Structure 1
Amino acid sequence: MGDTVLVRREGKITYITLNRPEQLNSMNIELLEELSKVLEQVKDDDSKVVVLTGAGKAFSAGGDVKTMLQNTDPEGFKQVMKTIKNCSTLFYTMPKVTIASLNGAAAGLGLSMALAADYIIADEDAKIAMNFIGIGLIPDGGGHFYMEQRLGPVKAKQTIWEGKMMTAKEAQPFGLVDLATSHLEKALETYLTKLSHSPLMSMIETKKILNNKQLPLLEEVLDQETKGQALMRQTKDHQEGIQAFIEKRNPNFIGE
């Protein structure tokens, strides 16, 4: 294993930490591949609870834009999207109770991964955004699926189109966050204590029944996202969005 994903086990709890703090835990291919391997291993261990969080000031700022710029090879793109699909489906179907603990910003692909968890708790000031639209792309990592599950199809569509940044406190009433708190560590500890006195096998069996039922739809959405993202990467608006991001200015989209 490398060092872009850290794993720590405490009793029945496994902590997984995204570890590129200087890059706000943005997801490059190294981190994604390592996360996929970690999730595969954790899936088969005897822990009962998994906590996913980020090192430093952010949970994850999303996909690594530098990687995006460098990766113009169609086969390389397919491999990245395949790895993203693995991470998303593995975390969503994880036979444990999963908690995403948002210590800071969760944006784009980072938010998609967080939404795959059973519970999302967040620092109330953490920035939340499904902001692919800002660079002329669509959500991936199952973002469409998870947003629809939590918001319903119409509100999910509108929220994706707006791509606006909100705090976790603002996001909680919409259902994008289950708990926004000014005492994240204490809140997480409270959740974990409650779970330690819960019939976890029953909880996990319910999760298996409900999530496995939805898995074919999630996989279909992930495949559609791969096709759609490949198309969007060829658009003038995406090129403009990337250029504007690099130049730190507002993009001038033309709908092409």
Structure 2
Amino acid sequence: MSIPKYNTLTIEEKSAITWIVLDRPQTLNALSDELLTEFSDVLRILKTEGAPVIGIRGAGRGFSSGYDISPEAEEIGGLGRRNIIEERTRLREKIECLMPLWDHPKPTIAAVHGPCIAGAVLLASLCDLTVVADNAVIGEPTLPIGGGFMEPFWAFLLGPKQAKMMALDPGARFNAAKAVEWGWANFSVPHDELVDAVEKLSSRIARVHPDVLAVKKSSVNRYYEDRGIRSAFISGAETDALLHFSEPVRAMSESIRSNGLADTIKRFYG
């Protein structure tokens, strides 16, 4: 399999599943621009190479903390250099790095343990199946510096009341049991059984011919696309860009640049 060596991802090949491991444990696997570019690249390669199923998990103590909003990251550090149209274009490019999960011909499974926050929730939601460890914590960022990427998926997967709770309550979270009860995840397993459970599931899925799997996946996706999920997802770039240029969010972003993330959370939400 001709997959290059990546800086932010580790690829593990099994007979039924190719694992994409988000491998920035020192940042709780924050989704940097480099990671998203590499992620998009490996998804392209796996269309024709690798195992019949794609699995995604995080290295270290959790799945991912979401988009990288450290002071030096482009998400925060570059905001003052862009106008609102450039920001919308940048955010569309982020979406285009993740959309191949939805459109991929192979089944994709997110294996979620520990924290899965903000943009990472979007990544897991775009996978066909999601299996959560019993220590998984899923939710919104503590600082509401964006809006629109996750909200359509909350609405489609959780319904309007829970979607608005997640959207309006800063740092809203739910655990593995609620993830299954509310339909965000397929099932939950003990933390130390997560990888094994997903590999057993992928072995069963891999018995089906790839062409059959692709058509079955597409038929479900089409149902939701007819109800507007794709256009709602794409519109997130516009709502996020709008909020990034609002005064409250610009103040938070400036505080992150000047004082760091932890201090900004304390300053705004005590």
Corresponding position of 2:134:
124
Corresponding position of 1:223:
234
Corresponding position of 1:184:
194
109, 114, 119: which one aligns with 2:119: 109
The one-letter amino acid of 1:138's match is G
Corresponding position of 2:220:
210
Corresponding position of 1:81:
91
Stretch deviating more after TM superposition (230-239 or 199-208): 199-208
Corresponding position of 2:107:
97
Q: 2:11, 2:268 → 1: CA distance?
A: 39
| CA-CA distance at 1:46 after TM superposition | 5.9
| Secondary structure of 1:249 counterpart | helix
| CA-CA distance at 1:50 after TM superposition | 0.6
The one-letter amino acid of 2:35's match is L
Q: Which has the higher contact order (CA 8 A, sep 6+)?
A: 2
Q: Does the CA-based 8 Å contact 1:93-1:212 persist in structure 2? A: no
Q: 1:227, 1:235 → 2: CA distance?
A: 13
- Do the aligned partners of residues 252 and 122 (structure 1) sit closer, same or farther apart at CA in structure 2, a change above 3 Å counting? closer
* Offset from partner CA, 1:187-229 (integer Å, 9 cap, x none): 2233123224445543331111221454583442233211111
Unpaired runs of 5+ residues, structure 1, are none
Corresponding position of 1:32:
36
Q: What's the TM-score, normalizing by structure 1?
A: 0.86
2, 8, 12: which one aligns with 2:12: 8
- Count the aligned residue pairs: 250
Stretch deviating more after TM superposition (189-198 or 18-27): 189-198
155, 158, 164: which one aligns with 1:157: 164
| CA-CA distance at 1:52 after TM superposition | 0.8
Q: 1:186, 1:13 → 2: CA distance?
A: 11
Q: Does the CA-based 8 Å contact 2:17-2:199 persist in structure 1? A: no
Unpaired runs of 5+ residues, structure 2, are none
Q: 2:251, 2:181 → 1: CA distance?
A: 34
